[in-house]
A and B are shown apart, each in its own frame.
Chain A
Amino acid sequence: MKTKEGIGLLGIIFFFFFLRSLQCASQSAASRPQEIAAHARQAQEFLKEHRPDLAIPEFRAIVALDPNNVDARGNLGVLLFFQGDYPAAIPQLRAALRLRPTLWRMQALLGMAERRTGSSKSALADLEKAFPKLREEKIQIEAGMELIEIHTAAGDLDKAAATVSALRSLYPTNVEVLYASYRIYSDLAGEAMLSLSLVAPNSARMHQVMAHELEKHGDDEAAIRNYREALKLDPKLPGLHFELSEMLNASSVAAEQQEAEGEYKAALSVNQFDERAEFRLGDISSRRGDVQEAYAHYSRAVQLQPNDAEANIGLAKVLMLMNQPDRAEPLLQRALQLDPTSVAAHFRLSTLYRQAGRTADAKRELEEYQKYKEMKEKLHDIYHDMRVKPAKQEGDETDVRK
């Protein structure tokens, strides 16, 4: 996960840290022997000339003259780290930390250096201690990635997941973090599936897992078979009816489509608070043109889960059909608070505003609709080009004509 670019950026960060430290060293030079001040000035000159190889001996000289000089220790450790001389960097970084224990970035670097020299235990301890205290993005991500690699290597996926979760909440668009997240959760899913197949190979849950996997690979027929098998074993297993009905609902086979409605209803009979089943029943009623029934289902879905953007949109749609735009508008606005990228909500709102003569508002919503639609289409094209079935997304369709 680590890249040369990452190291380079880290180097820049430490370079600024280093310069600041040098300024401190210069300020204190008046109370130090002239020799230390001269070495410090010389070191600064070399660094300005981008000659860390020449600055290192100057810092060594300062440390020899003043072993408790925390700045010299720290800067020497950093320079040695970025020179790739980890064995030499470690004692300098440790000494700096001993002198000033709150140097969290130093501690993160120490952990990384220790990992590179095979001291995983020390590395883990230093990185775990430093990681929550770090505040700068680059070092935080770098340290987190090191931690994740250590946890993953040790087979401790839960701890790796906790670390990546922390990183995702801080940096949700970082490519490396997203990839690490994908890998860890995939590995966790695989591990759980393996464990389940060992402890309960013939269970309803195992069939449910198999159904998920088969669906992912596009074998819908086999997936439906496994859902049915799971239901035979445990008809009241939470979520099972809903998942089967989702597959049936998306099927092109007429008999399966017709069966979907019954399965959604079965899902509700198992769990009367199954908001998604209510929502889907609203969709089915709406497609059938049964406005009153659709209204009842969508209303209940919103009642059960007011934070479901789709349910809010569903109810708004049926209210628009019932010619009640005043009630539909706040639902669409709520949907957009929950999901600002909802193409359908922007478009519906644009329609409402246009019909109300609010032209400027209608245009604004139309622009938002077009922006997010374009974005989602690009995303769809990426998946399409990579020949991968995308995660469920708005308006997701697979056939050529669609």
Chain B
Amino acid sequence: MCDKKKLRAFIHLVLVVFAFGLAPSFSQLSESPSLGIESHDSKAGLRGSEADPVNAQQATPHTFTQLPQLVDITGSTSIKFEHLSSPEQKYIVESMSGGVALIDYDRDGWPDIYFTNAQSVEMALAGKKARSALYHNNHNGTFTDITDKAGVGYPCWAMGAAVGDYNNDGWPDLLVTCFGGVVLYRNNGDGTFTDVTRQSGLSNDSGWATGAAFGDYDNDGWVDLFVSHYVALSLSNLPSFGSMKTCKYHGIDVQCGPKGLNGSPDNLYHNNADGTFTDVSKKASVDDPQNRFGLTAVWSDFNNDGRLDLFVTNDGQPNYLYRNDGDGRFTDVAYLAGVAVNQDGAEQANMGVALGDYQHNGLFSLAITHFNDEYTALFRNDGKMSFSDVSYASGIAPATTAYVGWGDAFFDFDNDGWPDLLLVNGHVYPQVDSLDITAKYREPGLLFLNQHDGTFKNISNLVGPAIQTPQVSRGMAVGDLFNDGRLDIVIENLKGGPMILQPQGGPTNHWISFALEGTKSNRLALNARVKAIAGDLVQTGEVLSGGSYLSQNDLRLHFGLGSKDHVDRVEILWPDGKMEVRSNLAADRFYTIKESE
């Protein structure tokens, strides 16, 4: 009986299968899946066991002889984008942009890329704009610039982007954060977008918006929107380069800020389910009355209580971790949870954020990038809304202190079934090169390999020269660009062109990928979780809007499987709290799973 149910479920599974070397195409095999082959009335299976945060799985010794190499394939992709930047970066607004988004805008199953762009102050004062760019994935390793047709070239003085389906029409929409508010592009489903900022009620957002993330905090099936804001800055009254003590770095003149300038409050917009939003920041108590310098924001249910919490980084100031109290209100518990400041109680720069279950215990930890002389902070989620700064214990900290970190991501670089950690770097002051100090303007990226025991190994110099090439990097997004079962990396650099890094060679490990579609839950299934169990390999992933540094990763959930050629069991926890289960799924395939009605 049970086997029959499983078989039926498998047939009804919305699934497209393709193997390496085949020309893949995503299509939905079943429009009306009758799921519920296996019911699961407890969330505990997916939520992870808080009582036993230490992973019980056997750690596998790692060898470094067969690591994939990260190869810079930008030249072969036909991507010609260049982020604009002034040579001297005299103003802080010129050094904080560069978010990048992966968005499958045409739902063809291949991630497309949206690069944000930002003008210099000089350009802005002269009335000139910077052109952002949307590149369509041609399914053959190349991309085509379709920005003009799509109508997303000149949203604003762009900082970053996030993806969410605000109107639940199934087409992913694009939210661009700007120096001067946000721009919401509605995806028309025909390769074009319409700027609906005003009609959606978001045009009142006029501050320097940085991080943005969609998430359905009230579980009504419609994604809400959080926007963090950075410095209160006006083009008509910019602080002069080197003019104050807070505009000096090692004795030389540099851009002013953020210290010494005023911050801007943050905003939470509730989705009214009719194409409009209402500002509920104050009511929800996430309005940042202290005007901290907000950067990246991410939604996730950190304490596994079924309600979305919100994490917001603040530059040089304590972070916010807003616990969702369930009544439309939030409480900042960042200090009590141990994620406001570092292990010694000191604020850090708090640029980018990565979420990952790097210990395989079903709990999502946070990796936060920082300024040089600080360190990338890894806050291990111990459960019950308590985190530990394990940056040193995990082996992350020492290698990161020399650099200014931005975009970061947990992703399974070698498909061994364990999330590794990648971060990109680049200083904020070009003038730093005139100093006889360790820090340089262009800095290499860093890749840490998960050692399966709570620690990481810095393998940056073992994966080829591309990642070691010094850049002034900012945004970073991860996704399987070429649907070959390996996660690629898109890095947006503040100066010059982007980098597309592709893992090549190494072990031929298995993998599996899931695209989720909500029905009762929000259509993009943001914050749905998938637990993939393959023998003793138990992994959990979550569909996230925003994150990294003002960037957007591929919404599909990818799991490396090592030598496992199938997944025994997959548990999907939808945002509305419902659990669905699939069993015995073959590896090396993409699966689309639609939430049962």
List the interface of chain A (C-beta within 8 A of B).
Answer: 252-254, 257, 286-289, 291, 317, 321, 323, 343-344, 346-348, 351, 354-355, 362-363, 366, 369-370, 373, 384, 387, 395, 399-402
Contact = CB atoms under 8 A, between A and B. Distances in A.
Contacts of B401: 287
A366 B335 contact: yes
Nearest to B256: A400
A387 B245 contact: yes
A176 B170 CA distance: 73
A57 B559 CA distance: 102
9 contacts: A289-B395, A323-B393, A347-B343, A354-B338, A354-B386, A369-B345, A400-B245, A400-B260, A401-B249
Contacts of B188: none
A317 B389 CA distance: 12
Nearest to B255: A400
Given A253-B436, A344-B344, A384 B245 contact: yes
Nearest to B428: A401
Nearest to A318: B392
Nearest to A294: B392
B382 interface: yes
A363 B335 CA distance: 9
B391 to A, nearest CB: 10
B325 interface: no
A351 B398 contact: no
B397 A400 contact: no
Interface string B318-359: 000000000000000001101001011110010000000000
B256 A254 contact: no
Contacts of A351: 338, 343, 388-389
A354 B336 contact: yes
A395 B347 CA distance: 10
A402 B388 contact: no
B371 A400 contact: no
A317 B401 CA distance: 18
B336 A362 contact: yes
Given A289-B392, A321-B392, A253 B438 contact: yes
The prevalent SS among residues of A at the interface is: helix
A384 B401 CA distance: 25
Given A287-B401, A363-B336, A399-B248, A373 B386 contact: no
A346 B345 contact: yes
Contacts of A362: 336
B426 interface: no
Given A253-B436, A254-B438, A400-B254, A348 B344 contact: yes
Contacts of A354: 336, 338, 386
B113 to A, nearest CB: 30
A384 B244 CA distance: 11
B402 to A, nearest CB: 9
Contacts of B316: 401-402
Contacts of B196: none
Contacts of B389: 351
The prevalent SS among residues of B at the interface is: loop
Contact of A355 (B344, B346, B386): B386
Nearest to A322: B393
A355 B345 CA distance: 15
B437 A252 contact: yes
Nearest to A258: B438
Contact of A400 (B246, B346, B386): B246
Contacts of A347: 341, 343-345
B284 interface: no
B435 interface: yes
Contacts of B4: none
Nearest to B251: A218
Contacts of A321: 392-393
B388 A400 contact: no
B260 A344 contact: no
Please provide the 8 A-B residue pairs with the shortest distance between their CB atoms, ordered closest to farther: A347-B345, A252-B437, A254-B438, A289-B398, A344-B344, A400-B246, A321-B393, A401-B371
Which among A343, A366, A399 has the highest number of chain B CB atoms within 10 Å? A399
Given A291-B392, A348-B343, 4 more contacts: A257-B438, A351-B389, A399-B249, A400-B259
A253 B245 contact: no
Interface in B408-454: 428, 435-439
Contact of A373 (B345, B382, B398): B345
Nearest to B435: A252
A140 B371 CA distance: 52
Which among A257, A348, A369, A401 has the highest number of chain B CB atoms within 10 Å? A401
A284 to B, nearest CB: 11
B373 interface: yes
A254 to B, nearest CB: 4
B436 to A, nearest CB: 5
Nearest to B348: A402
Nearest to A346: B345
Nearest to A257: B438
B247 interface: yes
A382 to B, nearest CB: 14
Nearest to A354: B386
B428 A366 contact: no
Contact of A288 (B250, B341, B398): B398
